[in-house]
Amino acid sequence: MLTDEVTIKVKAGDGGDGAVSFIREKNRPKGGPDGGDGGDGGNIIFLTDNNLNTLTFFANRKHFQAENGKHGLRYKKHGESGQDLILSVPEGTIISENGKIVADLVHKNNEYLAVKGGNGGWGNHHFATSIKQAPEWSKEGLPGEERELKLELKLIADVGIAGFPNSGKSTLLSVISNARPKIAEYPFTTLEPNLGVVKIHDKEFIFADIPGLIEGASKGKGLGDKFLRHIERTKELILLISAESENPVGEYKILLKELKDFSKKLADKKMLVTISKSEIVDGTRKRIIAKEFKKMKITPIFFSAATRYNLSGLLQKVFDLLK
């Protein structure tokens, strides 16, 4: 199951304490202070990795801590700094704190310094003066920063495929791309987004198929609301309406309303209205459907993933809108 939202706690390393030490050598039995500084604590950094497409790594582990800095040593030796902790996340990861977005990691090798390690403390040699030549104190290292962060994944795709359950979204994706989503003749076969690479005129585009939407999806009904955010970054949407529908225009209006209620940004995207499974209706039914959409100044694209009818025409329209 796709993990696309988690809340974690991150704690940077504490700085090491400065040392209290004095030179004690045969020829210098009462030498001055030589306590070294503590090392800095390690940072925690998020880094995008294009080989990842889920936040599953964070599903079972909620606390992350970087290494503490080592304490200072005698002979003014500096303690070692703690190692940074690098947390790899998929491209498209949004990091927020208290409801405010603090980082949107969209591209390859994007990074975000989440918490900074504490500075190491000073050794006692820093505190020697002409009056106080043998200070018996040092400075403690500072604590590392600590935060509770929410990670949210929004998949990055060029084209989003949306429609009612069992409208043929996954079948379309499996035919035009390298994706192999689960397909069956019952609603909600797709339980998580599927991505596929589609080649059109020697150019590759990423298509995303999300679980079927139903009326009320934007308010939490069914499965669609959980995954609508995965098509927010797309440049274009394909709305699939099955030719089996008794009221295609009605379904279109519901889909549009759900997209608008979830996000105005979604509703304002370029869209193609398509009629899937067109092999199961005759020419008369197609004309009736086309006439109903014409009243709304919409020309639907009829196609069939099963028979490959007009797939090239559909992909050409997709390509034209992406230009």
Per the DSSP assignment, residues forming a β-bridge with 208 are 160, 195
Q: Residue 213 and residue 201: Cα distance in Å, rounded?
A: 31
Sign of torsion over alpha carbons 22, 25, 27, 30? positive
Contacts for 45 with CB less than 8 Å, ≥ 6 apart: 84, 85, 86, 87, 111, 112, 113, 114
- 277 appears as a binding residue in the annotation: yes
Q: Determine if residue 276 is labeled as part of a ligand binding site.
A: yes
169 is in an annotated binding site: yes
* 179 labeled part of a ligand binding site: no
Q: Is 189 annotated as a binding residue?
A: yes
* 163 labeled part of a ligand binding site: yes
The reply, when asked if residue 305 is annotated as ligand binding, is yes
Residue 192 marked as a ligand binder: yes
Determine whether the annotation assigns residue 218 to a binding site: no
165: annotated binding-site residue? yes
211 marked as binding residue: yes
306 annotated as a binding-site residue: yes
User: Any known ligand binding at 294?
Assistant: no
C-alpha 259/C-alpha 218 separation (Å) is 7
- DSSP E strands in the chain: the ranges are 5-11, 44-48, 63-65, 85-89, 93-97, 100-105, 111-115, 146-153, 159-163, 194-200, 203-209, 236-242, 270-276, 301-302
How far from the centroid of its chain's Cα atoms is residue 70's Cα?
35
Is 210 labeled as ligand-binding?
yes
Annotated binding site for GTP: 163-170, 188-192, 209-212, 276-279, 304-306
Annotated binding site for Mg(2+): 170, 190
Annotated binding site: 163-170, 188-192, 209-212, 276-279, 304-306
